[in-house]
Amino acid sequence: MSAPSRLGRYPVRRRIGSGAFATVWLAYDEHLDSAVAIKVLADNWAGDHHIRQRFLEEGRFLRKVESPHVVTVYDAGELEDERPYLVMAYADQGTLADLIELSPLTRSQAVSVITQVGRGLTALHDRGVLHRDVKPANVLFRTVENGRGAHIVAMLGDLGLGKAMDMSSRLTMAGGTPSYVAPEQALGEGLDARADQFSLAALSYHLLTGRQPYAHASLAAAENPAPPAPMEIDEPAVEEVVLRGLAKDREDRFPDVAAFTAALVEAVGEPVDETPATWVPADPDLTRAAASTEATGVAGDPSPGPRSRRRRWPWVAAAVLALTTGTGAGWALERTAASEVTVKDSTGTVFVTVPSSWARQVDPEQWVPFEGRAEQASVAAGTRSGWNSDDDPGEGVFVGVLPGDRLPSRVPGHPECSVQRGPYFDERGDDDYMTVFFSGCPGVDLTVERVIRVNQNQLLWVQIRTDDRGIANRVLDSVRASGI
């Protein structure tokens, strides 16, 4: 799907997620000088009155609530083809689903997230709205700047299942995510705020133990759940609070979400870190209305996290990145601007545009991605000889063709880097992408690994090392292939 140049008055930067009912775009509010997420109803649902109303109700529910822990809706509108859209806060720090995919949270981090999500639910409940779909993918993080510096705030998004309490108090359609849904919700019974409390308790169990309390395959399985397995956290008071929130009979739960989170904090018995540090490097070009690349998360994104796991990629030996250095006969350089040049491999297959300082060391020769297999087109460009070594890294990029018919589920790791974000999956035109960001790396702060599926049996592997995320984005966006 190609990106529109504008949605309403907002210039569009890139797509950052899509689901069954909507697509979400990262855009730029020129009036307020800030990034925004714009959720647009999918064109195949534009004529469905029920889906259209549900889409608009999400915006109305969110607009009713003024809380830093609920995604803010700034604006709404309608495109020329009459599809509605919602302009929302952009979650630059991704989703909870993304985060726990990488590593478990510390107890302090977990309790901080649970507490903040609880505040968001309380704000919804105070305005007479149930969320009905609390789960990791619907917990979003954004950066907030204040006198204490940059920190993250957790907020609830995606109220596609949200209902006003006076409607939910009567028999309603069953819905929700089976492993987090309350039994009464799975049964389609009338609901109150204790249904969201059950889901928050299920989320708490997950964050504190590293596993879900239930593995229900369907809503029917969630109608009469057995007690979850022991949490095995050696903290009886904490486990008692969580299990009470997960009581099958709602009358046995806490009276409201605020009481649940207060009891959990008391049981933990130590201060909660209310302002955890950011974990995704800031994008210096975030508010520029220009094409860019990767997204980390989005308010209201239907499914921005990783797709289902695919087959494991055959590991590439680390030595394969130790490319032959030297000026390399036959390499091509095309000047595109005073500060940028385009380099290509010796066969004229792969091209990438880089800062001119990265063209001091170029290797256009083919590489052998797998021992005993055929050579493939590749090009490397960097600031100096040995830029791509682990001992003394510099800034640069490597692009090489790989045989393969599917994106990998993993890329070579960088344990020397302190933070990993991703993998993120996306598609642009006919190409599928998988990208992982590593930051806090020694020598050069940021390493980016990307794999692009360019046809049925070929992939492109891109590795970038740089201290500047904005440059990384521009280099990633410039990679192209010809004749494959």
What are the residue numbers of the active site?
133
Q: Do 26 and 298 form a contact (C-beta atoms < 8 A)?
A: yes
CB 345 within 8 A of CB 329: no
Q: Which has the closest alpha carbon to 411: 292, 306, 267, 313?
A: 313
Cβ-contact 296, 26 below 8 angstroms: no
Question: In the beta sheet, which residues pair with residue 187?
Answer: none
The CA-based angle 2-7-10, given to 5 degrees, is 120
Residue among 155, 124, 176 at smallest CA distance from 300:
155
Place of tokens 């969201």: 196
Task: Calculate the CA dihedral of residues 14, 285, 37, 141 and round it to 10 degrees.
Answer: 120
Tokens of 86: 């919602």
Q: 39 labelled as ligand-binding?
A: yes
Q: Please say whether the beta carbons of 291 and 284 come within 8 A.
A: no
Q: Are strands 34-41 and 129-130 parallel, antiparallel or unpaired?
A: unpaired
Q: Which two tokens stand for residue 65?
A: 């609530």
Residue 93 Cα distances to 137, 155, 477, angstroms: 13, 11, 21
d(CA 58, CA 290): 29
The continuous run of DSSP H or E covering 27 comes out as strand 22-29
For residue 191, give both structure tokens.
């609901």
Secondary structure letter of residue 390 according to DSSP: S
Stretch (H or E) spanning 480? strand 480-481
Q: Which residues are annotated as a binding site?
A: 39
Q: Which residues are annotated as a binding site for ATP?
A: 39
